[in-house]
Structure 1
Amino acid sequence: MGTRLDPYIHEHDTAEEADVFDHALRERVERARNSTKPRVPHEQVMKDGRALLDAQRAKKVGKRD
């Protein structure tokens, strides 16, 4: 068992879990930064997200009737 971390301060139970998470996150960020996929502007992402949420809300309202 690894070094226990204070749950009031740390997101992970042990230092080892925190290290594994940190390593995986850094790898994902590096892959994203090196990606050759076209970038999507923030405004477009927000517009798409709002449309998705609006559609879900409309679907819920329709179920109540």
Structure 2
Amino acid sequence: MNTILSPIESEFGTQQEAQAHDAWFRSRVLESMADTRPAVPHDQVVAETEAIIQAAEQRQSVRRR
């Protein structure tokens, strides 16, 4: 059954879309939990993200001149 969902109650248009997303999401979580690579420390991720943002901001400021 492909029940239409209210946009107030769900971000998905139909029950089928919601179930498909749930299945996809659960499979991604299981993949992540099974990943044997070492974890990346939070501080390292934040520092790398900040560097990417700063580089993008510098490129934007050069383009505006």
CA distance in 1, matches of 2:27, 2:62: 43
Identity %: 34
TM-score calculated relative to the size of structure 1:
0.93
Normalised by the size of structure 2, how large is the TM-score?
0.93
Moved over 3 A (4+): none
Superposition deviation, residue 38 in structure 1: 1.5
Q: Tell me which amino acid in the other structure corresponds to 1:48.
A: E
The question of 1:19 aligning with 2:57 is answered no
Unaligned 5+ runs, structure 2: none
Please tell me the root mean square deviation across aligned C-alpha atoms, in Å. 1.1
- Aligned partner of residue 13 in structure 2, secondary structure: coil
Structure 1: distance between partners of 2:15 and 2:46 = 35
How far, CA to CA, are the matches of 1:46 and 1:9 in structure 2? 34
Cα distance, 1:2 vs structure 2: 1.3
Structure 1, unpaired ranges of 5+: none
Alignment deviations for residues 8-27 of structure 1 (CA, whole Å, 9 cap, x no partner) = 22110001100010111011
